[in-house]
């Protein structure tokens, strides 16, 4: 491993540890540099801005999502049950980072930033995340007329759930649990309904709406 890579990794690690312990705003670039054993300017050599260090947080979230999807796998034949189990496991896994997520969402949402969930730079993570949905729900949706779109739709749904969770400042996260319960039921019903001939006309619509999110993968 090149020295430069090691230096970069040291900075990433220091940043993530400090973010997790003290929060994003309370952690200064000087803290990170000191913890990583480099100078302030050197940290900026590898990361053009403090915001860019948030990417390590992303990768961590994704890893947790992946682990959770395997640990709490439900093989129920009911889409709603499997969806709810999956999301509850995911939310449990990321719960330790709730406070940090609340701080970080402001940079994640910035349109020009590399960190927003629709950016080119996060494409790889996005694809990998959709892949999880493909694997977990593949057998249930394989015969669906919109089978190719559903992983993207479910990924978008999980983004919405994450947002709901971020905005949930209650103690036990009960509102989010309720939201997951109800929204998974609704989403499952709509997905089932959309197999009916009555919904034939909506397929093209759904496809057109999701198309911009499905390029390049």
Partner DNA sequence: AACTATTATTGAACGTGTTCAAAAAACCGT
Partner DNA sequence: ACGGTTTTTTGAACACGTTCAATAATAGTT
Residues that bind DNA in the complex, under the rule CB under 7 A:
2-4, 7, 25, 27-30, 38-42, 44-46, 48-51
Tokens of 142: 């394989």
Beta carbon of residue 8, minimum distance to a copy of itself (angstroms, whole number): 26
| Using rule CB under 8 A, residue 45 touches a copy of itself | no
Q: If we measure between CA atoms, which residue out of 54, 50, 51, 16 comes closest to residue 35?
A: 16
Task: Report if residue 166 touches a copy of itself, rule: CB under 8 A.
Answer: yes
Ordered alpha helix ranges (H), 77-149: 79-94, 98-108, 123-141
| Nearest Cα to Cα of residue 78 among 184, 7, 197 | 184
Under rule CB under 8 A, residue 80 binds a copy of itself: no
Determine, following the binding rule CB under 8 A, whether residue 172 of this chain makes contact with a copy of itself: no
Cβ distance to a copy of itself smaller for residue 45 or 118: 118
Q: Go through the chain and tell me how many residues it has.
A: 217
What are 147's two structure tokens? 């089978």
Nearer to a copy of itself, 71 or 178 (CB): 178
- What is the rounded distance in angstroms from the CA atom of residue 21 to the CA atom of residue 179? 29
Among 1, 3, 120, 208, binds a copy of itself (CB under 8 A): 208
Q: Does the protein bind a copy of itself through residue 118 (CB under 8 A)?
A: yes
13 touches, from a copy of itself, DNA, none (C-beta below 5 to 8 Å by class): none
CA–CA separation, 100 and 57 (whole Å): 9
Q: What is the Cβ-side half-sphere exposure of residue 133, based on CA atoms within 13 angstroms?
A: 23
49 binds, among DNA, a copy of itself, none (CB under 5 to 8 A by kind): DNA
Report yes or no: 101 and 166 within 8 Å, Cβ to Cβ. Answer: yes
| Cβ 115 to DNA shortest distance, Å | 12
Listed residue (121, 125, 139) closest to 63, CA to CA: 125
Query: For residues 7 and 185, which CB has a smaller minimum distance to a copy of itself in the complex?
Result: 185
Pick 33 or 61: Cβ nearer DNA:
33
| Nearer Cβ to DNA (74/113) | 113
Measure Cα distances from 74 to 80, 114, 139 in Å. 11, 34, 12
Question: Shortest distance, CB of residue 107 to DNA, whole angstroms?
Answer: 10
Residues forming the site for a copy of itself (CB under 8 A) = 102, 105-107, 109-112, 116, 118, 166-167, 169, 175, 178-179, 182-183, 185-186, 189, 193, 198, 201-202, 205-206, 208-209, 212
């Amino acid at each position: 491993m090149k020295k430069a890579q090691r230096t970069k990794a040291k900075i990433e690690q220091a940043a993530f540890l400090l973010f997790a312990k003290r929060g994003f705003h309370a952690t200064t670039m000087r803290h990170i540099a000191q913890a990583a054993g480099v100078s302030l300017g050197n940290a900026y050599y590898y990361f053009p801005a403090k915001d860019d260090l948030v990417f390590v947080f992303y990768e961590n979230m994704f890893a947790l999502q992946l682990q959770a999807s395997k640990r709490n796998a439900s093989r129920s034949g009911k889409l709603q049950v499997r969806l709810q189990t999956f999301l509850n496991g995911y939310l449990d896994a990321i719960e330790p980072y709730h406070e940090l997520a609340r701080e970080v969402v402001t940079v994640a949402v910035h349109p020009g930033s590399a960190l927003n969930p629709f950016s080119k730079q996060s494409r790889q993570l996005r694809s990998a995340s959709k892949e999880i949905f493909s694997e977990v729900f593949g057998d249930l949706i394989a015969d669906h007329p919109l089978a190719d779109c559903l992983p993207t739709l479910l990924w978008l749904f999980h983004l919405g759930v994450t947002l709901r969770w971020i905005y949930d400042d209650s103690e036990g996260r009960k509102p989010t649990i309720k939201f997951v319960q109800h929204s998974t039921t609704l989403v499952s019903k709509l997905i089932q309904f959309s197999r009916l001939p009555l919904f034939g006309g909506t397929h093209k619509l759904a496809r057109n709406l999701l198309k911009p999110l499905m390029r390049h993968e």
